Amino acid sequence: MNQRMLKNLHEETVSLKKLCFSNNILKLIANFKTKRNYYMVIEYCNGGDLEALIESGLYLTEHQVSYIFREILQGMKQMHMRGIIH
């Protein structure tokens, strides 16, 4: 990894630590680096991600979509309140 990549990863780690008590945002459990890799251990999300849900072809009700969208917006609001843009 070059210095720029390490700097970006460090900034990402700092941002995630700022959000560790926010709802609707995956939590950073730990992070560490070796000579060749940088590891970020995040909270397990057993329901999968939104992309996988969309790609599954499953149809959602308007109420389900509304709930998901509201949760996403609440997470983004938490980030913006802490000066983080996603």
Residues 26-64 have pLDDT tens digits of 788 888 888 888 888 888 888 788 888 888 888 889 999
Place of tokens 């802490």: 82
Domain ranges of the chain: 3-81
> Residue 2: pLDDT above 80?
no
Q: What is the pLDDT of residue 86?
A: 67
Bridge-based pairing of strands 28-33 and 38-42 is antiparallel
Does the pTM surpass 0.85? The reply is no
More confident residue, 24 or 21: 24
Quote the tokens at residue 15.
Answer: 């941002």
